[in-house]
Each structure stands twice: as structure tokens, then as C-alpha cells.
């Protein structure tokens, strides 16, 4: 019989290779399983001998440690997936997570920029340096396409078709999708390709589209810092993240009459219920407009 350590590793390989889960998701599951492993070892148990009560006590311990409800929910999802895998391998005949309840999560609405704030972000603090031109190209592309930041930093030069106006990206689960690209974004990316990228690339060899000052592929963390700096230079005091641009992209599309199914396709959501959060945002916006504008609203 293989060790618990080997069993965890096989499951993570299964998630990455056969299920095609994103690296960040796999890493999060790995951390959750490491917590479980330590808990079970302290009780001299393993994944094949623990019971439902042991899993309940493990989850209770996470709550005692004041882990966020969302993190606990993800941990429970990791455990359910793991023990389903163990069952499928014939290593157990029961599932100890059967009676574990996922904590209820408050649906927090994402931060969305107004269209005026987006314009301010694009126009503020823009100079003529190679890095400034690159920064504007990234921000324009992210807002125009709604890509996840991990998808954007993974783009290669051949993934962007500026003459036709689309971006080809590899999303969650290694699913490829084609997303339209607006004219302003295409112009900004073309300007970056016309010189700045070439000068940055001479410091390194890569076909990745967006490069850092050393000519290497830009990271998610690197873009997050760039966006923060651009927001500050633009005079925006909102807490802006790369996901803010994705949320703004979806919300503004719906505000201007796009249908939910099309927005789902562009965002790369597997389930339309994930996209429906943006309908709540547009309803909230309409309500705010009504309350501000209608003479008898208050």
C-alpha cells in the first residue's frame, strides 16, 4: 500500500494532468491537503483510516484558527475531491466528507470602475517611455478583453491579431477561447509592438507579448504593482486590482446592452451562474441612478 504522502502527490498530479486545473488552484489544494496531513498525523491517522468525525474536527480546528469562510469552503472542496479520488481508486469504501457542510458565503460584489474612472486611468500619468507605452497597452487590453491577469501575462505575440481585432488565450482548464479586442486597445498594443517591445526583447529571448524591464516575461505580481502605480498617478483613490478591470469590462458590456451569454463566453466562465453576479451590479447601478435622479425616490 502506498504512503499517504504518495497518495496526496498522485491526487495533485491527477488534478493538474487529467483535470487540467489551473496551477494556482492546484497549489491551494496542495496547501489544504498539507494541513489535513499534519492534523491526521498528530492523531496517528491517515487518509485511509480517518472517519467523518475526524474530518469534522479538522474543519472545526480551521474555524478556531479564524480561517476565512471562503478559505474553509475551498478546503472542503479540496477534501471532497481528494476522497472522491481515493474512492475511485478503490482505496476506501466510504467518504468521510459526506456529512460535512460547506459554510454559507456572503456574495460580495466585486469592485467596478465607472466609465469615467476608466478613462482617467487610461489618460493619467502616461508619458512616452517604453515602459509607459507597455503599461497603457496592458491596461487597455485587459479592460477591452476582460482577460484574467494570468491569461494576459501568458499571451504570446502570435496570440494577438490586431488587424482582425481579437485575442486568443488559454484559460482555466487549458480551454482556449477567442475574445474580441477594441480599436483603442489594438492601437495601444500596436504602438507597443512598433518599438518598445523590440527594445525590451533585446535583453532577453522570448515570444511572450508583455516583457519587464529586463526583457523577461512579466508576472502577475509585476502587473499588479504597475496597475497600482498607474492608478495612483491618475489620481484614483479606489482600491484597484487587475480583477477590477475584468469586472468593469463585464459590467460595462451589460450596461450597454450585451447579452449575458456573450459576456459569459468572453469571460471564459464555464457556468453562466458565475456571470450572473454582474447583473446584480447593473441592477445596483440602476437603483443608485434612480435614487439620485428621481425627485420622490427618497
Catalytic-labelled residue, pool 74, 134, 246, 252: 246
Catalytic-labelled residue, pool 8, 29, 192, 278: 278
Query: Does pLDDT of 265 surpass 80?
Result: no
Rounded Cα gap, residues 26 and 35, in angstroms: 14
How high is the pLDDT of residue 2?
62
Contact 142, 242 (CB under 8 A): yes
How high is the pLDDT of residue 12?
92
Is 298 within the bounds of a domain? no
269 carries an active-site annotation: yes
292 carries an active-site annotation: no
Are 223 and 260 members of one domain? yes
Is 106 within the bounds of a domain? no
Are 133 and 280 members of one domain? yes
pTM: 0.62
User: Between these two residues, 11 and 281, which has the higher pLDDT value?
Assistant: 11
Domain boundary residue, one of 88, 107, 127 = 88
243 carries an active-site annotation: yes
Query: Does pLDDT of 114 surpass 90?
Result: no
216 carries an active-site annotation: no
16 carries an active-site annotation: no
Are 125 and 83 members of one domain? no
The least confident of 120-134, 138-152, 187-201 is 120-134
Are 140 and 73 members of one domain? no
Are 11 and 155 members of one domain? no
Are 124 and 252 members of one domain? yes
How high is the pLDDT of residue 275?
64
How high is the pLDDT of residue 148?
87
Average pLDDT, the chain: 84
Average pLDDT over residues 251-262: 80
Catalytic-labelled residue, pool 148, 197, 247, 252: 148
Are 181 and 62 members of one domain? no
**pLDDT interval class at 133 (50, 70, 90):** very high
**pLDDT interval class at 125 (50, 70, 90):** low
Are 50 and 124 members of one domain? no
Tell me which residue range forms the domain holding 147. Answer: 115-293
CATH number of 195's domain: 1.10.443.10
Query: Does pLDDT of 135 surpass 90?
Result: yes
Are 84 and 134 members of one domain? no
Catalytic-labelled residue, pool 172, 177, 216, 220: 172
Query: Does pLDDT of 110 surpass 70?
Result: no
**pLDDT interval class at 166 (50, 70, 90):** confident
Is 97 within the bounds of a domain? no
Average pLDDT over residues 222-244: 87
Query: Does pLDDT of 280 surpass 80?
Result: no
Are 143 and 223 members of one domain? yes
Number of domains in the chain: 2
Q: Residue 6: CA atoms inside 13 Å, Cβ hemisphere, count?
A: 3
Is 101 within the bounds of a domain? no
Is 104 within the bounds of a domain? no
247 carries an active-site annotation: no
Amino acid at each position: 500500500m502506498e504512503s499517504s504522502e504518495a497518495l496526496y502527490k498522485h491526487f495533485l498530479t491527477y488534478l493538474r494532468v487529467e483535470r487540467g486545473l489551473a496551477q494556482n488552484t492546484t497549489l491551494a489544494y496542495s496547501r489544504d491537503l498539507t494541513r489535513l496531513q499534519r492534523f491526521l498525523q498528530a492523531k496517528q491517522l491517515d487518509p485511509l483510516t480517518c472517519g467523518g468525525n475526524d474530518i469534522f474536527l479538522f474543519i472545526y480546528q480551521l474555524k478556531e484558527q479564524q480561517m476565512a469562510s471562503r478559505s474553509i469552503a475551498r478546503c472542503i472542496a479540496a477534501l471532497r475531491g481528494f476522497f472522491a479520488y481515493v474512492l475511485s481508486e478503490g482505496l476506501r469504501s466510504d467518504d468521510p466528507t459526506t456529512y460535512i457542510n460547506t459554510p454559507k458565503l456572503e456574495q460580495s460584489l466585486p469592485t467596478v470602475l465607472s466609465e469615467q474612472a476608466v478613462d482617467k486611468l487610461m489618460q493619467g500619468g502616461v508619458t512616452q517611455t517604453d515602459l509607459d507605452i507597455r503599461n497603457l497597452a496592458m491596461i487597455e487590453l485587459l479592460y477591452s478583453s476582460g482577460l484574467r491577469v494570468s491569461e494576459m501575462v501568458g499571451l504570446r505575440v502570435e496570440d494577438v491579431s490586431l488587424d482582425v481585432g481579437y485575442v486568443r488565450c488559454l484559460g482555466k482548464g487549458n480551454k482556449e477561447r477567442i475574445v474580441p479586442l477594441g480599436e483603442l486597445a489594438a492601437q495601444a498594443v500596436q504602438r507597443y509592438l512598433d518599438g518598445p517591445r523590440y527594445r525590451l526583447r533585446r535583453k532577453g529571448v522570448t515570444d511572450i507579448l508583455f516583457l519587464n524591464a529586463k526583457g523577461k516575461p512579466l508576472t502577475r505580481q509585476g502587473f499588479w504593482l504597475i496597475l497600482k502605480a498607474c492608478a495612483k498617478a491618475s489620481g484614483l483613490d479606489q482600491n484597484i486590482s487587475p480583477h477590477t478591470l475584468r469586472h468593469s469590462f463585464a459590467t460595462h458590456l451589460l450596461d450597454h446592452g450585451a447579452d449575458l451569454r456573450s459576456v459569459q463566453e468572453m469571460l471564459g466562465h464555464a457556468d453562466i451562474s458565475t456571470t450572473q453576479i454582474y447583473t446584480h451590479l447593473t441592477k445596483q447601478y440602476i437603483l443608485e441612478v434612480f435614487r439620485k435622479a428621481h425627485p420622490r425616490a427618497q
